[in-house]
Chain A
Amino acid sequence: MHRPNAHEFLQALLDTLEDLPPDFARRFEEILRKNEPDRSQAIRLLFEDVAGD
Chain B
Amino acid sequence: MRAFRGIPAEMTVDFGKGDSMVIYGDNGTGKSTIADALEWYFTGGIELLSHEGRQHAVAYVGGESDDVTSVEVFTNGTLGGKVAIPDERNAETFHVIRRETFLLRGRTLADFINKTKTEKWKALVEILGLDAIEGLREDLQRARNELRKLSKAAEDELRTYRRAVASGAEDVGEDTVLGNLQQICTMLRVNPPQTLDQVVDPSWLTAAVGASTMASEGSDRESLLAEIKTLTPPAFDKDAVDAWNDLVSSDRARLLPRASLVREAKRLFEAGSVDKGRCPLCGQKVDAKSLAQRIESALVDVMEASRDLEDVRDPVAQLADDLEAAHQQRLSLHNRARTAELGLPPVPDFPHVDLRQSLETLAPAKMAAIAGAISDVRKWDRSAAAVAAKASPAKASTRDTQLVMLATLCQQVNAWRLAERKAARARRALELAERVFDAYQNKQKEDLTALLTQISRRVAEIYATLHPGEGLDAVSVEPWTAKGIELAIEFHGSRQRPPHGVLSESHLNSLAIALFLAMAASFNEQFGFLVLDDVINSFDVEHRGRLAELLADSFSDWQLIVLTHDQPFFEHLRRRAPSWRRLEFTSWSHASGPRTTQYETTDILRDARERLDRGDTHDAAARARRALEELLQEVCEALWAPLPFRRGQANDKREIGELLKGLRRTLKERSKLQLESLEPLLKNLEADVGAALNVAVHASRNRPGGNEVRAALERIAVLDDTWSCSECRTRVWHRGNPDAGRCKCGQSSFPPFRLQTGS
Contacts and interface: CB of A to CB of B under 8 A. Distances in A.
B436 A17 contact: yes
B133 A40 contact: no
A13 B150 CA distance: 26
Given A16-B439, A40-B142, A47 B147 contact: yes
Contacts of B142: 40, 44
B443 A48 contact: no
Contacts of B429: 47-48, 50-51
Given A1-B522, A9-B133, A44-B146, A51 B443 contact: no
Contact of B147 (A1, A2, A39, A48): A48
Interface stretch (B52-60, B214-222, B321-329, B420-428): B420-428
Interface string A9-35: 110111011001100100000001000
A43 B139 contact: yes
Nearest to B436: A17
Query: What 6 A-B pairs are tightest by C-beta distance, nearest first?
Result: A40-B142, A51-B429, A44-B143, A51-B428, A40-B139, A43-B143
Contacts of B132: 5-6
Nearest to B444: A9
Given A1-B523, A12-B443, A51 B432 contact: yes
A3 B99 contact: yes
B415 interface: no
A9 B143 contact: no
Given A17-B439, A44-B147, 10 more contacts: A1-B523, A4-B447, A10-B440, A12-B443, A40-B142, A47-B147, A47-B430, A48-B429, A51-B426, A51-B428
Contacts of B454: 1
A25 to B, nearest CB: 10
Contacts of A12: 443
21 contacts: A1-B451, A1-B522, A3-B523, A5-B129, A5-B133, A9-B447, A10-B440, A13-B443, A20-B432, A32-B136, A39-B139, A40-B138, A40-B143, A43-B139, A43-B140, A44-B142, A44-B143, A48-B147, A51-B426, A52-B428, A53-B421
B346 interface: no
A40 B421 CA distance: 24
Given A1-B522, A3-B128, A17-B439, A50 B136 contact: no
B526 to A, nearest CB: 11
B597 to A, nearest CB: 39
B661 interface: no
B459 to A, nearest CB: 14
B135 interface: yes
Given A43-B143, A47-B147, A53-B425, A6 B133 contact: yes
A39 B523 CA distance: 29
A40 B137 CA distance: 10
B433 interface: yes
Nearest to B138: A40
Given A3-B129, A3-B523, A51 B425 contact: yes
B433 A47 contact: yes
A44 B136 CA distance: 13
A9 B443 contact: yes
Interface residues of A, number: 28
Interface of A is mostly: helix
A47 to B, nearest CB: 4
Contacts of A4: 129, 133, 447
Interface residues of B, number: 35
Contacts of A5: 129, 132-133
B285 interface: no
Interface of B is mostly: helix
B201 interface: no
A33 to B, nearest CB: 12
A1 to B, nearest CB: 5
A43 to B, nearest CB: 4
A14 to B, nearest CB: 8
Contacts of B143: 40-41, 43-44, 47
A12 B136 CA distance: 14
B525 interface: yes
B404 to A, nearest CB: 31
Contacts of B129: 3-5
Nearest to A13: B443
A48 B427 CA distance: 9
A24 B433 CA distance: 12
Interface string B134-160: 011011101100110010000000000
A21 B522 CA distance: 37
Given A40-B143, A44-B143, A13 B133 contact: no
B575 interface: no
Contacts of A13: 436, 439-440, 443
Contacts of B430: 47
Contacts of B150: 48
Nearest to B427: A51
Nearest to B142: A40
Contacts of A6: 132-133, 135-136
Contacts of B451: 1
Interface string B454-470: 10000000000000000
B439 A50 contact: no
A52 B432 CA distance: 12
A40 to B, nearest CB: 4
Nearest to B140: A43
A21 B433 CA distance: 12
Contacts of A20: 432
Contact of A47 (B432, B443, B444): B432
B425 A17 contact: no
A10 B140 CA distance: 11
B107 interface: no
B307 interface: no
Contacts of A21: 432
Contacts of A2: 525
B435 interface: yes
Contacts of A14: 436
A3 B147 contact: no
Contacts of A52: 425, 428
B523 A48 contact: no
A17 B759 CA distance: 90
Nearest to B429: A51
A50 B433 CA distance: 11
A44 B146 CA distance: 7
A5 B444 CA distance: 12
Nearest to B454: A1
A45 B425 CA distance: 12
A48 B439 CA distance: 19
Interface in B591-615: none
Nearest to A39: B139
Given A1-B522, A51-B429, A17 B139 contact: no
